[in-house]
Amino acid sequence: MSLKLAILISGRGSNMQAIHRAIKEGRLDATIAAVISDQPAAPGLAYAQAEGILTHVVEKQKGEDREAFDRRLIAQLEEDPPQIVALAGYMRLLSPAFIGHFHRRIVNIHPSLLPAFPGLHAQRQALEAGVRYSGCTVHFVDEGCDTGPIIDQRVVAVLPEDTEETLAARILEQEHQLYPACLQRIAEGKVKVEGRKVLL
Ligand code: GRF
């Protein structure tokens, strides 16, 4: 059965585009109920609109706390309830209430081999640590920072001449393959979580 997704973005949305391409090309059995951005100027919104995907902007209001903001986000999502909420460059921390509401149904992609280099600037952290390999991780979201059960990872070699930009670009190529592939495994019912781990 086709997997119903909602995708949250804040910026260019290249992972959202990769997911959409995979659907169009028949590599991912899913539908996108909506793309939601917290940033009205997110470049990814234009792509989604041009492709006929429903988009919404849920923007933080002045003085609004995270819980109140997330309540509005939940209400927007529940207008057409998704099975999976896919974060694709969504730059806001989610409240425990949001994570509880969509328990084990929120998926994120992160540009490092977690648990190494969580949080911001993962590629810069990898270069500063001098690791020879980095990569990307798709994982379920829990209340920690990039700590939820790992669904799958791709390894990318760090080259001596790498800058943050070149490393980020090579990791991104892998992200664009990994994210749709993981969602397809979820669509096929092949991703089972036991305790803190996804079963191999
Ligand atoms: C990606 O590197 C992703 O791993 C991270 O934020 C970036 C988003 O890029 N979470 P895009 O908006 O999908 O192009």
Residue 150 belongs to domain with CATH number: 3.40.50.170
Residues with CB under 6 A from ligand 1: 9, 11-15, 88-89, 109-111, 172, 175
**Residue 199 forms part of a structural domain:** no
Query: Is 92 a residue whose pLDDT tops 80?
Result: yes
What pLDDT is attached to residue 150?
98
Two tokens at 25?
């090309």
| Mean pLDDT within 191-199 | 95
Is residue 198 within 8 A of residue 192, CB to CB? The reply is yes
**Residue 88 forms part of a structural domain:** yes
Output DSSP code: residue 64: -
**Residue 200 forms part of a structural domain:** no
Contacts 24+ apart (CB under 8 A), 57-65: 60/92
Query: Is 58 a residue whose pLDDT tops 80?
Result: yes
pTM over 0.85: yes
Query: Is 167 a residue whose pLDDT tops 80?
Result: yes
- Residue 161: which domain range? 3-194
**Domain count along the chain:** 1
Q: Which of 9, 15, 47, 152 to mutate to test the pocket of ligand 1 (most atoms within 8 A of CB)?
A: 15
How much of the chain exceeds pLDDT 70, in percent?
A: 100
How do residues 174-185 score in pLDDT, each as one tens digit?
999 999 999 999
